[in-house]
Structure 1
Amino acid sequence: MNELVATVLQLEDPGIDPMLFIGALVLAVAAITVWQMVEIVDAYNRGALTVFGEYRKLLQPGLNIVPPFVSRVYTFDMRTQTIDVPTQEAITRDNSPVTADAVVYIRVMDAKRAFLEVDEYKNAVSNLAQTTLRAVLGDMELDDTLSRREMINERIRQELDEPTDEWGIRVESVEVREVTPSPDVKGAMEQQTSAERKRRAMILEAQGERRSAVEKAEGEKQSNIIRAQGEKQSQILEAQGDSISTVLRAKSAESMGERAVIDKGMDALENIGQSESTTFVMPQELTSMVGRYGKHLSGSDVQQQDRQLESLDFDDETRELIGLDDISKILGEIDEELEMDVEEMEKEAQAIQEGEDMGQSPDSIDVPRDEEETPGEESEVDSQ
C-alpha cells in the first residue's frame, strides 16, 4: 500500500503521462483485489466465511478463494484449549466455607455451531464452569471436598457436557487444582490431626510395653525352668548316691557278719586243735563258708596231701543275700546315669554359650516341657 501511495503521488506530478498514471492505478487495484480474494487457513484452524454478513461455509486448511471486499473470515482453533477457572468461594453442605479453582480442557468439534450458537465460546465455558464448581462444592460435605477430588472433577464435567455440546464444544476433562477451607476450619483440622497422631503414638507405645513385659516374663519363665531342671537333676543324683551308699553299707555289714562267724569258727578250730582229742565235729555251714570264702578271697583251695578239698561256689540265694551281683549292676547304672547327666549338662551349657554369642539371652533358651519336674518324680526320689 505504501508503494501504491508513493506511485500515486509521483503520478500527480504534471510531468507524468496520464495513461501511465491510470495503468499504475489499475495495477494497484488488481493487486488489492487479489489480496482480498486469497485466504490462507492454518492446518489446526477452521475458518467461518461470511459474505455481506451472511454465513456461507467453513474454510478448510490451505489456500481458499473468497469474494473480495465483501467477505470476512472468523478462524477457530481446533486443538485442545485450556481455560482457567478463577477462584470461587462456596459453602459446603455442613456450612464450612471453602475456596477452589479449576482448569477446564475443551476442544471445538463443530466450528459452525461455535460461530453461530454462542458468542465468545471461551468466556461462555469459563462462566459456566464457575457456577458449576460452586454448585458441586455446595452439594458436598467438607471432608468429601478434600478427599474425593476425582468425584468433583467428574461431576463438573458431566454438568458442562450438555450445554457445551449445543455450542459444538466438547469438555475433555476438568481438574480442580485446590480446595482450601477457611483459616478457622483449617486450624481445627490441624488440631484434630495432631490429636489423632498422639492417640496412635500412645497405642503403639502401650503395645510395645506390653510386648516387652510378655517377653521379659517369658524369659524369666524359661530361666526358672532351667534352674528347676538343674535342681531336679542335683536332687536325683544326691538321692541315688544316698541309696547306693545305703546298699553298700548294708552289703558290707552283711559280709562282715559272715567274716565274724568264720573268725569265731577258726578260733574254735584252733582251740580244738590244741586239745588231745582226735575226733572233731564241725558244722557243715562253717566248712562250706570257709571253702567259698577261701576260693573267692585267695583263689585257691586248701589242699591235704595230694587231694584237693572240694569247695562250692556261692549259690544263687547266698549271692543274692550278700548282693554281689546287685552291687556291680548298681555301680554300672550309676556310671551310665552320671555320663548321661554330664552330657546333657554339657549340651545345655553349649546351647547357652551359643545363645550368648548370638546376642540371645540365656533366659530365651527353650526347655522341653516333658523335662519339667512333676510331683511323681519327686516322690520317687524320696522313696529311693
Structure 2
Amino acid sequence: MPSIGTIAVIVLVVLILLLIVSNIVIVQQSKAYVVERLGAFRTVWNVGLHFKVPFVERVAKKVSLKEQVADFAPQPVITKDNVTMQIDTVIYFQITDPKLYTYGVERPMNAIENLTATTLRNIIGDMELDQSLTSRDTINTRMRAILDEATDPWGIKVNRVELKNIIPPKEIQNAMEKQMKAERERRESILQAEGQKASQILVAEGEKESAILRADAAKQAAILKAQGEKEARIMAAEAEAQAIAQVQQATADALKLLNAANPNDQVIKLRALETMTKVADGQSTKIIIPSEIQGLAGLAASAKALLEDDGSAKK
C-alpha cells in the first residue's frame, strides 16, 4: 500500500501536468491573441502553439483578423434644403493591429457606429435632396476616407462603406413616384411616336420602291416596243429593197434575153405597146403615146374589131 507521501507526490505531479496543459494555447488561423503579464501588455500571439505562464500571464482579448461587416440602424439626417431622411449604412472593416484595437478605444463597434452617424450627417448636410439621392458613390467614397482615417488609431481599416437605403419623407416619396410615372408615360409616348414614324418611313420607302419598279417596267416596255417597231421597219425596208432588187434583176435579165434574140423593130414596138397597156391600167389620166407606136396601135385595134365581127357571124 503506497504511503501518504507517495500519494501526495502523485497528486502534485498530476496537478502540475494539468496546469501545464491548461496553459498551452493554440492560436487558429486568422486569429490573434493579446496577452498581458501582471496586467500590462506583453505581446500578441499569432497562429501557432504558445505557452502561457500560469498565474502571471493571461489572454486579454481574442481578435479576429477577418474582414467584418457592421450593419447599422437607420440614422436621421437633414439635407441642405431642410429635408429629413432616414439612411442606414453598411461598413466593411478589418482589424490590422490587435494591440490598438484592444487598448485604443472602449467598445470599438459602438465608437464606429457613432462616428459613422456623425460623418453621414456632415456630408448630407452639405447636399440638397436631389444631389444626395443621386450621389451615392460620392457619399460612399467620402465616408470611407473619413472613417478610415479616424479609425486608424484604433487599429481598424475601413475597406468599404455602402448606403443601403435612403428613405425620404412620405410626401416626397409620393411626389417622386408621380414624377417617375410621368417620365415613364413620356418615354412610352416617345417610343410610340418613334414606332409610328418608323412605320410611316417603311411604308413610304416601300411605295417609293414600288413606283421606281413600275417606272423601270414601263421604261423597259417602251424600249422593247420601240426596238420592235424599229426592227419591223428595218425588215419591211429590207423586204422592199429586196423586191426592187429582184424586179430590177428580172428586167435586166429580160433585156439580156431580148438583146440576145436580136429583135426587129416590130417586136420592139409590140413590147412597147404591151408596156403602154400596163401603164394604161394604172391611175394616170393622161398618157402620151409615141408616134412610132400609134400606127401599130391602130393596126391592133382594127385586127381586134375584125376578130370580134368574125365571131359574131359564126354565131
Superposition TM-score, scaled by structure 1 size: 0.51
d(CA) in 1 for partners of 2:17 and 2:258?
Answer: 173
Q: Secondary structure at the match of 2:207?
A: helix
The alpha carbon displacement at 1:301 in A equals 0.7
> Percent identity among equivalent residues?
33
CA-to-partner distance for each residue in 1:48-71, whole Å, 9 max, x for gaps? 3141xx414124243333351x65
Please give the alpha-carbon distance, in whole angstroms, between the structure 1 residues aligned to 2:219 and 2:262: 56
Q: CA RMSD in A?
A: 4.4
CA contact (8 A) 1:157 1:171 kept: yes
Equivalent-residue separation in structure 2 for 1:294 and 1:160 (angstroms): 122
Q: Given that residues 74 and 86 in structure 2 are in contact (C-alpha distance below 8 angstroms), is that contact kept between their aligned partners in structure 1?
A: yes
The one of 261, 280, 298 equivalent to 1:307 is 261
Contact 1:41 / 1:60 at 8 angstroms: preserved in 2? no
- Counterpart CA distance in 2 for 1:110 and 1:138 is 33
Q: Work out the CA distance in 2 between the residues paired with 1:153 and 1:219.
A: 55
Give the Cα–Cα distance (whole angstroms) in 2 for the partners of residues 32 and 294 of structure 1.
152
Match of 2:149 in 1: 162
1:119 partner SS: coil
* Matches of 1:119 and 1:217, distance apart in 2: 78
Q: Distance in 2 between matches of 1:75 and 1:293?
A: 135
With over 3 angstroms needed to count, the CA separation of the structure-2 counterparts of 1:36 and 1:92, relative to structure 1, is farther
Match of 2:52 in 1: 65
Q: How does 1:230-379 map to 2 (within 5 A)?
A: 237=225, 295-296=248-249, 300-302=253-255, 303-304=257-258, 306-307=260-261
Q: How many residues align?
A: 248
Counterpart CA distance in 1 for 2:41 and 2:117 is 34
* 1:200 positional shift: 2.1
State how far apart, in whole Å, the 2-side matches of 1:147 and 1:218 are: 44
State the distance in 1 between where 2:21 and 2:212 align.
108
Q: In structure 2, what is the Cα distance between the partners aligned to 1:139 and 1:108?
A: 31
> Contact conserved, 1:88 with 1:99, CA < 8 A, in 2?
yes
Cα deviation, 1:258-302, whole Å, max 9, x if unaligned, reads: xxxxxxxxxxxxxxxxxxxxxxxxxxxxxxx9xx98544678415
- Residues 106-164 of structure 1: per-residue CA shift (max 9 Å, x gap): 33333333333311222222221222233333333444444433322221111112321
Quick one: which of 178, 181, 198 aligns to 1:191? 178
How far off is 1:83 after superposition? 2.2
Q: Secondary structure, in 3 states, of the residue corresponding to 1:86?
A: coil
Q: Aligned AA for 2:61? A: T
Structure-2 residue corresponding to 1:200 = 187
1:79 to 61, 65, 89: 65
1:78–1:215 distance in 2 versus 1, CA, 3 Å? closer
Q: Distance in 2 between matches of 1:298 and 1:86?
A: 128
Counterpart amino acid of 2:50? Answer: L
CA contact (8 A) 1:104 1:171 kept: yes
* Runs of 5+ consecutive residues of structure 2 not aligned to the other structure: 264-315
Larger radius of gyration: 2
Pick closer, same or farther for the CA change 1:163–1:39 going to 2, 3 Å: farther
Q: Which amino acid aligns with 2:261?
A: R
SS for the counterpart of 1:93 is coil
Query: C-alpha distance in 2, partners of 1:118/1:300?
Result: 142
For 1:98, the equivalent position in structure 2 comes to 85
Q: What's the offset of the Cα at 1:29? A: 11
Offset, 1:46: 1.6
